[in-house]
Amino acid sequence: MTSSLDDTSLDTPRLLLRRWHDTDLDGLAGINAQPEVMRYIHDGRTLSRAATAERLAAYRRHWDEHGFGLYAVQLKATGELTGFTGLAVPTFLPEIMPAVEIGWRLGRAHWGRGLATEAAQAVVRHSRTALGLRRLVSIHVVGNEASARVMVKLGMTLDRETVQPDTGRRVRVYAMDL
Ligand SMILES: CC(C)(COP(=O)(O)OP(=O)(O)OC[C@H]1O[C@@H](n2cnc3c(N)ncnc32)[C@H](O)[C@@H]1OP(=O)(O)O)[C@@H](O)C(=O)NCCC(=O)NCCS
């Protein structure tokens, strides 16, 4: 056990999934400033450091409110923050509520090595065994094939295609029973 592995952390061969630290702001702001990363997120625009700080605070409030949330995903080998994976309540898509969504975002340098899938598999296991959740959804903007592929690799299937009301973008909802 590492010193940062508390009872809400998850461990995979290459990754530590943990609660957020104040010092994660630099790393997360760097990721949210990358246009390729943000292309299929919300309205597709990059986020300022101040906007990222607000998101980080919201992720922490989500943990406090629900007892689960998005994890900071740290590379064990270097300690680097690669991005996040975890759970959120998708209030932005009222037609599928109530629901719990699994999601992911990694800095560009960390794509293409199976890290999102490795992290998400740990979250799925934890959702089933520790949280007792019965169903997970995942939502991607149409065209985000890498994210769709992670959903399929997790065992999710297409539930519906619809429009996200606050952005007007077409999204696909995947789902799996646990
Ligand atoms: C989505 C994301 C987290 C995937 O991370 P990752 O660690 O590269 O994912 P994995 O390596 O576990 O799996 C990606 C899969 O998509 C495939 N893929 C990648 N780009 C693809 C594309 N353009 N078209 C089709 N498949 C693609 C990969 O080949 C891989 O599948 P495989 O294992 O069968 O070969 C990463 O691309 C990302 O952070 N994107 C920006 C943020 C984002 O869009 N988040 C999701 C919002 S819904």
Strand pairing partners for 11?
Answer: 16
pLDDT per position as a tens digit, 79-93? 999 999 999 999 999
Residue 6: is its pLDDT beyond 90?
A: no
pLDDT per position as a tens digit, 105-160? 999 999 999 999 999 999 999 999 999 999 999 999 999 999 999 999 999 999 99
Domains of the chain listed by start with CATH number: 10-177 (3.40.630.30)
Q: Alpha-carbon distance 125 to 138, whole Å?
A: 15
For atom 12 of ligand 1, the residue with the nearest CA is 114
Neighbour tally for 38: CB within 10 Å? 17
Residue 85 and residue 17 in contact, taking contact as beta carbons nearer than 8 Å: yes
Q: Is 28 in the pocket of ligand 1 (CB under 6 A)?
A: no
Contacting residues for 7 by C-beta, under 8 A, at least 6 apart? none
Q: Which of 106, 108, 123, 138 to mutate to test the pocket of ligand 1 (most atoms within 8 A of CB)?
A: 106
Q: Which of 115, 145, 147 to mutate to test the pocket of ligand 1 (most atoms within 8 A of CB)?
A: 147
The predicted model gives 32-41 an average pLDDT of: 98
The pTM assigned to this predicted structure is 0.96
Look at residue 1 in the predicted model and tell me its pLDDT: 37
The predicted model gives 60-79 an average pLDDT of: 97
Q: 3 C-alpha vs ligand 1 centroid, how far in Å?
A: 31
Q: Alpha-carbon distance 125 to 74, whole Å?
A: 19
Q: 142 C-alpha vs ligand 1 centroid, how far in Å?
A: 13
Look at residue 49 in the predicted model and tell me its pLDDT: 98
Contacting residues for 169 by C-beta, under 8 A, at least 6 apart? 43, 141, 142, 163
Residue 59: is its pLDDT beyond 70?
A: yes
Q: Tell me, what DSSP letter sits at residue 76?
A: T
Amino acid identity at 83:
G
Q: 150 C-alpha vs ligand 1 centroid, how far in Å?
A: 6
Look at residue 8 in the predicted model and tell me its pLDDT: 83
Q: Of 105, 107, 111, nearest to 27 (Cα)? A: 107
What distances in angstroms separate CA 121 from CA 34, 57, 90, 93, 151, one per listed residue?
Answer: 25, 25, 19, 24, 10
Residue 150 and residue 113 in contact, taking contact as beta carbons nearer than 8 Å: no
Q: 123 C-alpha vs ligand 1 centroid, how far in Å?
A: 17
pLDDT per position as a tens digit, 25-34? 999 999 999 9
